[in-house]
């Protein structure tokens, strides 16, 4: 059971470039979300999805797009990278019903925009 | 979601109990208290959660006050591997959203 898998683990972009951070989960979880973590800070929600075909914005959505065409995958797209988007990005998934609904997090993608 | 307040840092001697407090004075009746930890810069890891009763699992114990306005996470025999940032979060079970504060940085000392 792989859990939540994020790729790549590290990435350096030039300002203005675009890229997609990948996130996949194999637990058949309905909820998936993306967070960013800046140095010394807690995690902040970027976008989330409550099921395939349904996405919505979190507290810091500007400069990012998401889509959820399958239950398993939830990619995060940076449209035109800016230095302010230098951060560590975490993807998480959880069940919608039953049990503690704890979130499972990936190991993160460390992005540097120069 | 209710906000939480945690001390920014704590030290604990190896082998002793680590008691991490959390204040959540505006918690609602249907909000649970969750604890996560983040070791180095890895993804946060679930530890335990509870509503009003005290809870224990293989990792930790959670003590929630009767008025539910505060709680304490207890690591009964801290080891060096427990050095991490610990986050206390309140949320409604079944919702997607976690609001992370800055947590408590626990350092376990040899």
Q: What is the DSSP letter of B16?
A: S
Contact A42 B103 (CB under 8 A): yes
Residues B23-81: tens digit of each pLDDT = 999 898 888 899 999 998 899 999 999 999 899 999 999 999 999 999 999 999 999 99
Contact A92 B45 (CB under 8 A): no
Q: Indicate which of A31, A100, A109 best probes the interface with B, i.e. most B CBs within 10 Å of its own CB.
A: A100
Taking a C-beta distance cutoff of 8 angstroms, is the pair A94, A71 a contact? no
Contact B46 A4 (CB under 8 A): no
| Selected residue with higher pLDDT from A43 and B96 | A43
Residues A31-69: tens digit of each pLDDT = 999 999 998 888 999 999 999 999 999 989 999 999 999
Taking a C-beta distance cutoff of 8 angstroms, is the pair A29, A106 a contact? no
């Amino acid at each position: 059971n792989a859990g939540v898998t994020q790729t790549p683990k590290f990435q350096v972009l030039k300002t203005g470039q675009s890229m997609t951070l990948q996130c996949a989960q194999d637990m058949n979880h309905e909820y998936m979300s993306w967070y960013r973590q800046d140095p010394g800070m807690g995690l902040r929600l970027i976008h989330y999805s409550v099921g395939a075909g349904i996405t919505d914005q979190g507290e810091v959505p500007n400069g990012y797009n998401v889509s959820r065409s399958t239950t398993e995958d939830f990619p995060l797209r940076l449209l035109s990278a800016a230095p302010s988007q230098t951060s560590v990005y975490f993807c998480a998934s959880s069940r919608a019903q039953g049990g503690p609904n704890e979130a499972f997090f990936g190991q993160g993608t460390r992005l540097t925009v120069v | 979601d209710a906000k939480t307040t945690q001390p920014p840092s704590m030290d604990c001697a190896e082998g002793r109990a680590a008691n991490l407090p959390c204040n959540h004075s505006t918690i609602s009746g249907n909000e649970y208290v969750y604890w996560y930890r983040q070791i180095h810069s890895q993804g946060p890891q679930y530890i335990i959660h509870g509503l009003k009763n005290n809870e224990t699992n293989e990792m930790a114990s959670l003590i929630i006050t009767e008025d539910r306005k505060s709680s304490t996470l207890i690591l009964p025999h801290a080891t060096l591997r427990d050095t991490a940032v610990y986050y206390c979060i309140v949320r409604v079970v079944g919702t997607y959203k976690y609001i992370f504060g800055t947590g408590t940085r626990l350092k376990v000392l040899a």
